[in-house]
Amino acid sequence: MKLFGIAGYSGSGKTTLMERLLPRITALGLRVSVLKHAHHNFDVDQPGKDSFRHRQAGASEVLLASSARWVLMNELRGAREPTLAEYAAHFSPCDLVLVEGFKHEAIPQLEVYRPANGKPPLWPELSHIVAVASDQARQVNQSADVVWLDLNDVDAIVRFILDYCSTRENDAC
């Protein structure tokens, strides 16, 4: 299972890009999973539902199952947050895990960069960013150390990710 990250500041378009990448990659016959990091307290459960009540009562894990899907919820209850590798170990076998967030993890990542957001680029400071997808062309004074891609050319981004991952033997593309 290969891991490849999509990084960028909030509002840069990471999720939108992921929505555009996923159908193109899966259409090639690849099995793709997504690991998304949330920076805030979130809950996929609803107050009053049995599973919510079980967690509130102290269950460490609750698995909800149906004929359409299942989800395993794990309560950390003050324990340290698992590492990216520990999270990824929960996935069923797949060809590629696209990781959204986790921008400081040392896995190969593509930065979604929109200068209009007013945020500085990540790639000059994070050496594991191997490419930038932007709605602006590379400026003359910007380093050629990273591949620069047109954010709107999703097919080129897919080719880059798959080519990059195919040349790497380890799990972190």
Spans of the chain below 50 pLDDT: none
What's the rounded Cα separation, in Å, for the pair 32 and 98? 7
pLDDT of residue 140: 64
Q: Rounded to whole angstroms, what are the CA distances from 172 to 4, 22, 72?
A: 7, 18, 25
pLDDT of residue 133: 97
Structure token pair of residue 141 = 């004074």
pLDDT of residue 38: 82
pLDDT of residue 145: 79
pLDDT of residue 168: 74
Does this model's pTM top 0.85? yes
pLDDT of residue 143: 66
pLDDT of residue 3: 96
